[in-house]
């Protein structure tokens, strides 16, 4: 009745994962794979990620989708345990739609963010055990201002708005450094780039990250291998196709 899908799950005994684990270890919590990031550009928020999934030093997939559309106006870029991240995204997709249909209005952006916080908080035991760590980036459009915004989370569920950019995953350090540099001294700054230039920048950033992080899948324009890139704006979410990225790459290289 109150539109909260998550509250239905325990009642119906369909809670997706076991949350009661034994005492946690004191191992440090670090992301050991993946690179996802988001930055403001002239046409909205651009969210990008690599395709690589690793287990230790083994690459077991170079076709992984890490940018997940939650509804028409929000998406999540996941870094960390894929099983947990995908389950969180699936739970949020259902929770947002359930709320919209049952309450006959879309869930507000703060409530959407809070729902992700709640899932991360409920995942703390698995995180501290060292196998369920997820540190996502969330991008959504505020229903009142109609402006897209970027938020990043710590693995315990705290969220923070990113004024210009956010990154997560083992390769995000170098990307955040470059984005910081460009925001401070770039001309134009990433926030002022048109879509084509922003897409080319995103691919170059991933190429840079993959130079220093083996767990980040690179971009190879010669093989038509580009990043996953989605643009979020007041109009909704637009996936930038491989063909478009190839075109933008050529334009930027001229």
Partner 1 sequence: MTDEPYRWLEAVANRREYIRDQLKQATPVFAFSRPEGVLLYGVGSGQSKVFELYDRQAIAALGHPVDIEKVRQSLIEAAHLEGFTRSSEDVTLRRLINFSLGPLMKTNFEQIFGAPLIVIALLAEVGLTSAQDVLARVNFDGTHQFIAGGIAVAHADAQREQEAAQWLEAEVAADLSLKDVIARARQAWEKFGGVEGGLAGRVEEIGLLERRGTGRARYRTLDPQALL
105 is a contact residue toward partner 1 (CB under 8 A): no
Q: How far is the CB of 208 from partner 1 (least distance, A)?
A: 33
Between 91 and 228, CB nearer to partner 1: 91
Contacts of 193-197 spanning 24+ positions with Cβ under 8 A = 193/41, 193/42, 194/41, 194/42, 194/43, 195/41, 195/42, 195/43, 195/46, 195/231, 195/240, 195/248, 196/247, 196/248, 196/251, 196/252, 197/248, 197/252
Nearer CB in complex with partner 1: 15/163: 15
Q: Is 12 in the site for partner 1 (CB under 8 A)?
A: yes
Among 55, 60, 62, 101, binds partner 1 (CB under 8 A): 101
Q: Which of 17, 19, 102, 224 binds partner 1 (CB under 8 A)?
A: 102
CA dist., res. 133 & res. 156, Å (int): 9
The yes or no reply on residue 18 touching partner 1 (CB under 8 A) is no
Q: Which is nearer to partner 1, 8 or 55 (CB)?
A: 8
Residue choice 8, 55, 243, 250 for contact with partner 1 (CB under 8 A): 8
Q: Which residues contact 113 (CB under 8 A, 6 or more apart)?
A: 138, 140, 151, 159
25 tagged catalytic: no
Instruction: Give every CB contact of residue 195 below 8 A, 6+ residues apart in sequence.
Output: 41, 42, 43, 46, 231, 240, 248
- Counting contacts by CB under 8 A, is residue 94 touching partner 1? yes
Number of residues interacting with partner 1: please give it, by CB under 8 A.
Answer: 15
In the chain, how long is the greatest CA-to-CA distance? 59
Q: Does 108 bind partner 1 (CB under 8 A)?
A: no
Can you give the binding site for partner 1, defined by CB under 8 A?
Answer: 1, 5, 8-9, 12, 14, 72, 90-91, 94, 97-98, 101-102, 104
List, by residue number, the catalytic residues: 34
């Amino acid at each position: 009745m109150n539109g909260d899908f998550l509250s239905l799950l325990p009642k119906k005994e369909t809670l997706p994962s076991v949350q009661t684990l034994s005492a946690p270890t004191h191992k440090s919590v670090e992301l050991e794979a993946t690179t996802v990031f988001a930055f403001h550009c002239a046409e909205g928020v651009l969210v990008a990620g690599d395709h690589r999934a690793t287990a230790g030093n083994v690459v077991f997939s170079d076709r992984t989708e890490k940018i997940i559309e939650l509804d028409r106006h929000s998406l999540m870029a996941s870094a960390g345990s894929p099983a947990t991240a995908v389950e969180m995204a699936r739970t949020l997709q259902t929770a947002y739609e359930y709320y919209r249909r049952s309450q006959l209005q879309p869930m507000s952006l703060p409530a959407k963010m809070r729902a992700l916080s709640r899932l991360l908080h409920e995942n703390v035991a698995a995180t501290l055990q060292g196998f369920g760590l997820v540190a996502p980036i969330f991008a959504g459009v505020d229903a009142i201002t109609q402006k897209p915004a970027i938020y990043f989370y710590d693995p315990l569920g705290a969220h923070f708005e990113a004024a210009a950019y956010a990154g997560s995953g083992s390769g995000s350090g170098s990307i955040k450094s470059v984005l910081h540099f460009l925001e401070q001294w770039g001309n134009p700054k990433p926030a002022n780039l048109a879509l084509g230039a922003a897409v080319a920048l995103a691919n170059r950033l991933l190429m840079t990250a993959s130079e220093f992080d083996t767990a980040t899948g690179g971009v190879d324009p010669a093989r038509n291998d580009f990043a996953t890139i989605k643009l979020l704006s007041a109009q909704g979410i637009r996936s930038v196709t491989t063909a478009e990225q190839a075109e933008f790459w050529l334009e930027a290289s001229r």
